[in-house]
Structure 1
């Protein structure tokens, strides 16, 4: 059986298997070695993610192969402002941190050897959020701000450090580009293909630092180059 890498997150994860998405790129990158499994839930925050984790990630059956890694990519919805139209998604900063602690503990208890890779929420283009509200916005104010997203990104970084988990600081990484709003964000929140590429490259880099790379993972069946044209079935004897 191929090992798995789970992608756990909100809409930015759910959409990651679209054209040019970071999840699709990961699946292609790890083809023949790992199954990349999507578990993205649009609109979810850490409160809801913690509530349903037990249902989403059942224990591995006896003799099964535990997953290699899981990406945990929440915070963009937690950081919705509590006095704006997406207030129902808001999770206070202190609870967000505690929920991340609990999600990490859940995965460590279920699969002690798993690599847990945290990803911070991305930066926010507030003007674009005003142009692309997903429900009626009577206040005329953005439901998210870049400042709030930054605070949740810092909290995510802090939790990762406490647990010794690898982390992608997407909030900082994207803003290294002067044109990040247009280059990386399609609606002030979700990612363009270039933004998806940033996530893909950072995830691959962090996983490689944890010893998970195409170079080190065995393929699940013989490569065509290893099949003897004179005796093709011989190559399958060891599988």
Structure 2
């Protein structure tokens, strides 16, 4: 058995804004809140998914999307699904994995005060910079604070990131960390996420898998990608941009 654990947004599909103008042969992959196609697979992404299906490879989404956002993904995933940055696992029948939920809540409850402090600490600065703040929950429990800028202003998002990182360092909150990409900055649990969910699925449900593949585009995907046997990443994503910009010695 081969299992592919894959990020979704900007790995298997993306919005039109992120595609070359006039690209042909696109396949709708998600719907917006208005019910209209919102994100699309390129011919290469669609070919990869078709190859996985034809080869009998089990494909498991590993995404930051919550259940409502996942419901707007129109690709035919039929196995397990990892949502909420790893804090929710759905079984193939669509029901929440109760064992994983209980483990998540046991870890989340002691972090509530620290998460609240981080949210308060960054709120004023975020508002002054024009960033929108939202709090995300899993299993009716807050687990992440997300800050977005309407124009994806990298400079302003960086300032928000620095505020959060300084607060974590000052308070000694080693169990929380900050992740960032071109669209947002978030603070969430360090030791509870995509990687832990992938390891759980590998150990409990796919221990006999001969090969596990990981697909992701961002630095925040690295942990779960390292939990698999081989990794794939698209050109132009945060991962390859970072590696391309790095001045690494050749040894």
- TM-score, normalised on structure 2? 0.35
Q: Which has the higher contact order (CA 8 A, sep 6+)?
A: 1
More strand by share: 2
- TM-score, normalised on structure 1? 0.37
More helix by share: 1
Which protein shows a greater Rg? 1
